[in-house]
Structure 1
Amino acid sequence: MKKVININFQGRIIPIEESAYDTLQQYIDSLRLYFAHEEGRDEIINDIEGRIAELFAELLQKGNTCITDEAVEGVISSMGRPQDFDAEGINSGEQTASDNTAIPNAEHTSGNRLFRDENNKIIGGVCSGVANYLNIDPLIIRILAAVFIGVTFIPYLILWIAVPSSASKTIGATRKKLYRDPDDKIIAGVCSGLAKYFGINVWIPRVLFILPFISFAFRHWHWGLFDFPSFINISFSPGALVIYIILWIVLPEATTAAEKLELRGEKVDVESIKNTIKSDLEGFKDRAQKMKSDIKSRAEEIGKNVSDKGQEIGKDVGNIARKSGKGLGDVIVLLFKIFAYFIIGVVVFAIVVTLFALGIAFTGLMPIKDYILESGWQNLFAWGTLLFFIWVPVIGIVTYVIRKIANIKGNKNIIRYSFIALWIIGWVCFMGLIVSLRNDFKYRNNPIEQSVNIAQPKNGYLEIVRGSETKFYNNRHWFNLDPFNGVDADSVFVKNVNIRIIQATNDSFYATVVKLANGSSKINANINADAIPFQINQNGSTLQFNNGIAINPNNKFRNQHLIVTIAVPVGKKIKITAKNRYFDGADNVYIGFDDNWNWQWNDDAAYSWNYNTTYLMTKDGLKALDNDDATENDQPNQSQPQPSLKQQQKTNDSLNNSNKKDSGHYHYTPETPQKSKVTATSNDSSDMLQPNVTDLLRTRFAI
């Protein structure tokens, strides 16, 4: 048996055989003698020792109980001896041979582990590595990855970065690892690191990250409501920004000579470390001390992790030995842990997906902000909410998961506190935006009912056509993202035009319109209501008016509504025509009993209405006569009967009683609109009404 001692080598606690330690000490002394007259000799020796310590740590992490004589000899053969570099010709041959030097008895693994297959790779060796892990043909994995490229692309990149290559199974073998390059960086060294890793010019990844921002500046449709971002091909600037930030956080910086060699895929030995450091010292001598301290701190952290892991394994082995009689209990506990981790993983995944969807939705809605938000603080709060309140948690959770997969532990406190601080800023912006918008919707106008002069149709039949010259009626992008559907030129259209059908008090058709709006004051609310554009055109027995209210950046959206009341005499007919099959307005038609306004805006007062159907007004209410387009009408609940006179009266009575309390719906009670034939604004600024949440949310935008 050989004596084993613990040494502190480059900040790591290394268990090593005493004879192996003597061999290591002789090797280090020979290196000090060889580099005695070299510039930067201390940095060279320190990096070589750091590399040896990393190789020792890899051996211990693979299950070796200590560093043996054979392991030390293998590491020395991999690094190269000083005498190997005395003769250049001999150096070339022996260095090549050392690339494939295996360490006897050094590779001790426990269980099957996933590696990227460097010997059978097409791109990164991920598919062949997964196939080897599952013991199946790599062709199967490659076909599945190609067929489901939309799903497998990002997981492939993550595995490419996080999973070690098969070269790591041989200690000291040449390997390639992705780092950020500090020597040729502009911002964080991500692009230059990618360029060196893939062996391409650095301008290529920089153009790939910058191009989306250039296209964003010159192609306005990147901000279209229906051309949502494609994060796979990075055709949308926030997608490129998110990927860059994640790589910035996840990828470590190549600070040591060994890491710079791994970034380029070059062999890490004594000669290459010496050449790298000498090259760095020519232009960056002042960084030598920083490199030394970083190496030591990293070594200490890895050493502590190895030591803690060893102690943990020892405790687990002891516990298993002591509790061998409790195997069933251990299995139950293990299954419970697996189930708990599965639930936690599902919850975290759901949170990430939800936040990611919110981020995409809010990003796509940013063009609408000019029609709702005032410039200044509201605009600043909106951007702060988008970036810090929504996107920061997404990036933070994704970063945490990737760091866990890649087992990256450096700077975790800095990253954690940075994300927390940014999210706190996001909360401040979010609350500021909500409070500011609440003030803009705080008051309601005094509703005034205006009479609309219409000519009496000769045949006792009135047809209402909703739809007009605006482009949004023919918009093909029917992606319904409530409350917004899109933008037409320089306006956004609000589908808050409601038709109210009642029984006339005489034998003539007549119509009225009421304009409603909110504002930061009663006067401002009245001004917003008066500014609502609305016009009814009549051609014989046909009435036509627009389906939406146009909102422009100068006239902000403040919950503008129009209520058009059509009074139908008993014995006469009415029909509402929807020429556009995709017209969505069934919930904008209300069937009333009389001129009682207490029920308005209460959803219980709305009954089913069939478009393209002729109705006859009777003493008991409307009666459907036909359904011209019954086979083509897409409106819901077409077969429901219209309410009778008694049913409507009963409903109105119950609504009158319920309106004495706050129903939570958007309604104007108890005041009744004043009658007027011209637009009028009341100057009464008293009676501040507390807005309901629905005042801000019950909006319908149509394109």
Structure 2
Amino acid sequence: MNKTVTINLGGIVFHIDEDAYQKLSRYFDAIKRSLNNSSGQDEIIKDIEMRVSELLGEKLLSDKHVIGLKEIDEMIAVMGQPEDYIIEDEPQSETRYTAYKKSKKLYRDKDKGMIGGVAAGLGHYFGIDVVWIRVIMLLLLFGAGTGVLAYIILWIATPEAKTTSEKLEMTGEPVTISSIEKKVREEFDSVSEKFKNVDYDKFGNQIKTGADKLAGSLSEIITNMFKVFAKFLGVILIITGLTVLFFLFVGIFTLGTGIFIEFPWTEFINAGNFTDYPIWVFGLLMFLAVGIPFFFLTLLGFRLLSPNIKSIGSIAKYTLLALWILAIAALISIGIQQASEVAYEGKTVQKENLNIQSTDTLQIKFKYNEYYTKDIDDNDNFRFVQDASNNQLIYSNNIRFEILKTDEKAPFIQIERMARGASFQEAKKRAEKIQYGFKLERNQLLLDNYLLSSIKDKFRDQEVAIYLYLPEGTLFKVDESVQHYDESDDEFFNLHFSSNDYIYKVNTTQVKCLNCPENENEYGDVETGITEDITGNDTIVTTTVKVNGEVVTVNQSSKKGLTINKEGVIIKK
């Protein structure tokens, strides 16, 4: 059993076992000895430590992961042994360079840049002279101004190459001990050379320094502005993400899942569930499908507020991504099943003759059930109720009414019950179970304004269509309750809502109102005559209406003190 040592390497804390720690220490001691006479030794050591820290950090599986000899050997295989490298003026052989060649990474090169180093970094990445990159930027600048936006986005998104390792990665050079030492020595020699020639380059450097200061100030201002914007955006993302996640979490337990507790609306949701999957499955899938993207948005918000915050790790990221893909696929599959459950419509037809005399005036009225509601205007297409035996039912006012003409001698009513299902047979069976009633009392046709279905049949667009077929010459009156359900063709029957006393007659091509006011009647010429008889305290007003040669008399009673104007409208004196 080996001891574990905690070290801080390149700003990152590592747990390393004793054998691995001793080997790493010997490795750094050998590097220091090989660089004993090198210029810029401290800078080289610092860059090497940063590179070693980066390589070992990639191997961490968790915060408690312990670095062993295996990880140290793999790191040394990449970095190389100090004695394997000899710094010479001539370039390395192609074989050695190829062995440690790494792909380029995109960084901003502020050393060779004019403003933020974006163009110089792109030049390194694509292997193009920076002049051509700047020319392209200028062309985009004058082409709808997209160059400025692209430059700003790249400036924000692309990190600056600060360390020697990052500068080597920017140019595609291998990040090894030899390359790091060589790069540092080149920079050190470059700085020394500038100091030697400072007298010769004095005036030129002053101009360049002034431009660099101006560019640096502008760069700093823009950078700070975007940093503030990034912080603000991070707060918005955190608030939005956490709010959505909270409501999704609450929704899992309150959307009728039935896992822990039954809520009052559980049955309501189950009735609308067209598949056999339990509701909690929908809640869980929706939580994953919607919650995972908002979870990552929340993490992005925290990263914008605090860039140094630690990532959740690749394993967690890929696991959440896999769960999200599975949730989306499952929801699509369930959606297809939901649609297939209502793909077909089935119906049953009930026809009954109405036993009324041809001289009678048919009265048509919709009635409601006081057990389920207290108002004829209380309409609902989907509601749970209980009958007198405490059986749960689905209550709906999904009723359609239409008046049609028939060539048969007697009037009749046709009731069509309709529902949907996964097949015609299933839909028809569900339609047969719809409870709907009507009755004829003398000359009054009373129609239920509701239908009932068993909760076991669930909600499948249950509907009742009522077709009243009347022969030519039939007289009828319509109660005001009919207006909520009437869907008759206006070209055949135009219902007037202003009175329950209007008398309608079925003619050859259309239904005509015999006693509607002239300003409401659209059919034929109307002649109106009015007489007034006074008996005691009451006034009996007799209105005679002549429509296309047919005379109809309507009596109206009112209190004394009312009169009739020339248009036949009763008004107060």
TM-score range, shorter chain: 0.3 to 0.5
Q: Quick one: higher RCO (CA 8 Å, sep 6+), 1 or 2?
A: 1
Normalization by structure 2: what TM-score?
0.41
Give the structure with the larger strand fraction: 2
Higher-Rg structure is: 2
When normalised by structure 1's length, the TM-score is 0.35
